Structures are given as structure tokens and as C-alpha cells.
């Protein structure tokens, strides 16, 4: 239960003002501290900082730290952000065809319960295509995952257009 609560907090807090933010991690102290830096590690550090100690919540409610009180929640960035923040766990779970991080990804991708067994099986069977290099990026993983999903009649419906 604690892990699900933490997962929800990490996913929802950074997304709350994402749309009006000029970066991929939302607004808040982390966005200010890591402003101008690129790559996965500064993004992870920024989103983690944004979601801790209530600084993003304060920024949204006060209109500071690059936040806007009238911002819009953008759900389309949940999946890429989750993949970026959980690469190791996803690699492990995809290699075995199941696990908490893969279950969470399926949930974020809105894969129906009846289709999840196939999602897990495809992720396992196509692991070497999804994680095709030791230095693979979150974008590469997601692109490859969507590619193998599009080859399945059942899973193709979950691939964004």
C-alpha cells in the first residue's frame, strides 16, 4: 500500500502543472535548480525535487517557481515519465514477464485487465528488442515497446497515434 501511495504521489505531483511548464518535469524548485540541463538524470533529479517537501504544491498555489495556479494536467506524459524513472525495475520485470513496475506501467497505459497477460507475455518475449542496448534511453524503450505492441492485434489499440 505504501508503494502504491508513493507511486501515485510521484506521478501525480509532477504532472499537476506540467502543461504550462517549459520542460518535461513540471514546475517547482527542481525545475528552477536544474534549469537548462538536459538528459535523463537532471530530469529525474528535477522531478524528484519537484515532488518532495510540497514545494511543487506551494509553487502551484502561489504561482511561484515557474508554476501557474491555473495550469492544466496533462496525462500524456505519465507514461514517458514513469518509464524514465523506473528503467531498472522495468527491465527486470519485462525480462521475467511480470512484476509491480510492469503492472504499474500497464495501468498507466490504460491496458485493460483482460489484455494484461498478453502485454506481459509480449514484453517478456520481445525483451531483447525493447532493451536492445546497455545504454538504451527511456525514449528508446518506450518507442520499442510501442513497436512490439503495434504488432499485436490486441495491444495495438494501446499505442498512441
- The pTM assigned to this predicted structure is 0.57
- Residues 4-32 have a mean pLDDT of 52
pLDDT at residue 90 tops 50: yes
What is the chain's mean pLDDT, rounded?
79
pLDDT at residue 95 tops 60: yes
Alpha carbons 40 and 122: distance in angstroms, whole number: 26
pLDDT in tens, 97-143: 999 999 999 999 999 999 999 999 999 999 999 999 888 898 999 99
Amino acid at each position: 500500500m505504501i508503494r502504491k501511495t508513493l507511486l501515485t504521489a510521484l506521478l501525480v505531483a509532477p504532472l499537476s502543472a506540467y502543461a504550462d511548464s517549459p520542460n518535461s518535469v513540471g514546475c517547482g524548485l527542481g525545475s528552477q535548480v536544474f534549469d537548462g540541463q538536459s538528459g535523463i538524470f537532471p530530469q529525474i533529479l528535477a522531478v524528484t525535487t519537484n515532488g518532495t517537501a510540497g514545494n511543487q504544491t506551494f509553487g502551484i498555489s502561489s504561482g511561484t517557481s515557474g508554476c501557474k495556479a491555473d495550469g492544466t494536467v496533462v496525462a500524456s506524459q505519465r507514461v514517458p515519465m514513469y518509464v524514465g524513472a523506473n528503467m531498472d525495475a522495468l527491465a527486470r520485470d519485462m525480462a521475467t514477464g511480470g512484476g509491480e513496475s510492469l503492472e504499474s506501467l500497464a495501468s498507466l497505459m490504460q491496458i485493460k485487465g483482460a489484455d494484461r497477460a498478453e502485454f506481459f507475455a509480449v514484453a517478456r518475449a520481445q525483451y531483447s528488442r525493447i532493451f536492445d542496448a546497455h545504454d538504451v534511453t527511456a525514449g528508446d524503450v518506450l518507442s520499442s515497446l510501442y513497436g512490439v505492441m503495434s504488432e499485436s492485434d490486441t495491444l495495438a489499440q494501446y499505442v498512441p497515434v
